[in-house]
Every structure is written in structure tokens, then in C-alpha cells.
Amino acid sequence: MTSAPGALAHLRVLDLSRVLAGPWASQLLGDLGADVIKVERPAENGKGGDDTRGWGPPWLADGEGRPTVGAAYFLCANRNKRSLTVDITRAEGQAIVRELAARSDVVLENFKAGGLAAYGLDYASLSGINPRLVYCSITGFGQDGPYAARAGYDFLIQGMGGLMSITGRADGEEGAGPQKVGVALTDILTGLYAGNAILAALAYRERTGQGQHIDLALLDVQVACLANQAMNYLVSGRAPRRLGNGHPNIVPYQDFPTADGDMILAIGNDGQFARFCAIAGHAEWSADERFVTNAARVRNRAELIPLLRQATVMKTTAAWIAVLENAAVPCGPINDLAGVFADPQVRHRRLHVEMPHAAGGSAPQVGNPIHLSATPIDYRLAPPLLGQDTAAVLRELGRSDAEIAALRAAGVI
């Protein structure tokens, strides 16, 4: 915890998004100090709120050990937020959202393109109430184009956007075929792009007083994040192929077997390669014209990699790491998640955080990787229970307890 106000403590974010890309963006803004109000569907027949509240197991237990707090998936993207339940299909609910939008700096939503217009909660409607509003829409395919009406999901976009075509074992190897990444990476990257775009729009507003609409698409983000692989194709005209854990432009830069498991070698220049060869007892490799430069090693990877594998199995992973780190040759283990959170560097950097939860006990969190010297990240609010802050937010809008009770009885909140 910190006593310094966050860098964005002067901002209010009205978050109408759910699942991952939007909530990831709003959690980032909340970590940086913004007051984030998460708008969720009221509970009905035991269900409601962000879909990910029910995406378990595993479930977080309450203070009595009962698994009733919510799914771990929900917990990953919803700290530093207040939960307000509102039925936006009802006129009374729409009025609440509009009133909040009038007092907010940012609206974040991930409904289908045009989906909020029917409720008067689209950008055109809300910017008419609040011209300073920064309104960020996240969809699968954007606000226009032939696919604009389609729903978009991370797995689908990883396939359509090319990521799966370059992920997985190479053709001809056992288990060959396209693979998705082990986390919903496109959603995460879209959330990060959204956070950057929102901050840019707020900076523009500071100069002009005008808000604007941000149109973000999962497909756009995935294509943009192909990075060097996209440029490899655009420059050469040849579609990159799957290389397993190999790198298309650097060799050796992949996993290798050891006497007791596996390790990663990430050799980025010829000097590192020469030092590795000397330690491996094969200094002649770094003088071989087939391997002397990285470009040569890329051309001749099929000859080099088997030689390296025969050498790396002669020591344990720990033994290799000890000698290679001492020689400034980049290497490391392949940790499972238990190994990650036991790692002394991960522990030192506070990447495992425990936050007191409203249901009792604590909620584990993965720490934010941003370290700001003057306005550090503040873990103020654990991921909320559904509707935990509804009454408090409505009181801020001037609603009396009687009015709040009437809204609740009518199923609006």
C-alpha cells in the first residue's frame, strides 16, 4: 500500500466491458489510481455480472473456506474497481449510466459494433452529454469493414490473425501443427493498447478540451503484434513457418535438453556463441564457416542444432546456468508456475500480492509490473463482489436509501 495519490487519481473510468480485454485495460487504469466503476448485470437466478465470475474452477474461498467468492479468472483482471449492478436494458438503468458518464472521464465498452446505440449509451449519445468524454470501444473486428458485425474471441483471432501459423512444432516433427498461445494473449495485448490509447486521448483533451472515440479491434491488434514475423513476410514475400521454440532470425535461440530436463539458450550475438562453444568444449564450432556468424547459423540451423543438443545433455540445467551466466551467455530454466512464483527475483519484485477481500480472507493477485518512483502502483481494492458498491455509487449520485431500495426491488440494480 502507498499513501501517495496515483498518477490517475483525478480520473473516473466507467467500465461497461467484461471478460478480459476491456477489464485488463480498466484494471491498469485503476492500478494507476483512477476511480474505476465496473458496471455489471444484476444477479438473476444466482447468476449475473461479468461472465468470468463463473469461469471456474478454481474458485476463491471466502473467510470461512467456502468457494463462493468467484472464479480465479475474474480475479485476474478486476482489482481496484467498484462493482455497480445496473440493468442497462431498462430505462432507469440507462439513466444511471448516462448520469455517471456525465461525471466520468473515460467510458470503456466491448459490446458488438453498434450494440449500445439501442440503449442510448453509444459514443454519439454520451459525448452529447459530456463532450470531454474519452470513449473506448473494443470489438473483435472494429467498427467498420466486412466483419464488423461478427463476434470476436481471442482463440479465433489468434488463428485468423496469423499467430497460430507461426506457433507450434515444425512440419515433419511429432506433434506438428498450429497452436494457440497458453494465455489469451490477443485480449491482453488489446487491453494494453486500449490503456495507451486512452492515455493519449486524455493528453489530447488536456490541450483541446475535447474527448474522442477510440476504435480498437482484436484482429487489428493481433496483426500489429506479429512484429518481426510480419516484416519477415512483407520484406521477403514468404510466409514464415512454424519452428517450435526456434527463432526465425536468431540461432541458437530455443530450448535444449540437459541431463535432468531442459533449458533455454538465447544467444543474441557471435561473441556469446563463441563463449558458449568454448564452455561446451567445442571451440571449433565458432570458427566453422557454417556457424561463425548468426546469418550463417540461421542458414545452417539443421546442421548446428543436433550438435548443440548432443553437447547440452552432458550437464544438468543448474550446472549449465551456473557456468553460462558466469560467462554472460543468456540462458535459463523452463519454470512451471510453482517455479515462477518461488523464483527469488519474482518474489523480490512483488509479483505475488495478497489483498484483503470483502468476503473475508485474502485474494491473491499478480503484481503490476510498472514501477513508478513518484506515483507507485497502489493495491487499494480487491476484485469486488457482484454489486458490492452499488449503494455507495448511487449515493454519490444523490440517490436516497429509499430510492436505492426501490430500484433494487424493481430489479434495476
By CB atoms closer than 10 A (0-12, 13-18, 19+), residue 204 is middle
- Of 14, 10, 8, nearest to 133 by C-alpha is 14
Question: How do 262-266 and 253-257 pair as beta strands?
Answer: antiparallel
First-to-last CA distance in the chain? 32
The grid cell for 71 is 472464479
39 bridge partner residues: 84
In which residue are the cell numbers 523452463 written? 334
- Of 17, 96, 29, nearest to 370 by C-alpha is 29
- For residue 53, give the DSSP letter: G
The grid cell for 256 is 535444449
CB atoms within 10 A of CB 345: 7
135 bridge partner residues: 107, 213
Q: Which of 187, 220, 378, 389 is catalytic?
A: 187
Structure-derived torsion over alpha carbons of residues 15, 41, 125, 217, reported in degrees to the nearest 10: 60
Dist. CA 149–CA 28, nearest whole Å: 28
82 bridge partner residues: 37
- For residue 377, give the DSSP letter: -
User: Could you give the 3-state DSSP secondary structure of residue 360?
Assistant: coil
- 144 is known as an active-site residue: no
The grid cell for 342 is 518461488
Dist. CA 108–CA 26, nearest whole Å: 8
The per-residue DSSP string of 98-165 comes to HHHHHT-SEEEE-PSTTTTGGGT-SHHHHHHH-TT-EEEEEESS-SSSTTTTS---HHHHHHHTTTGG
Measured in whole angstroms, the distance separating CA 327 from the mean position of its chain's CA atoms is 34
**Catalytic residues, which ones?**
187
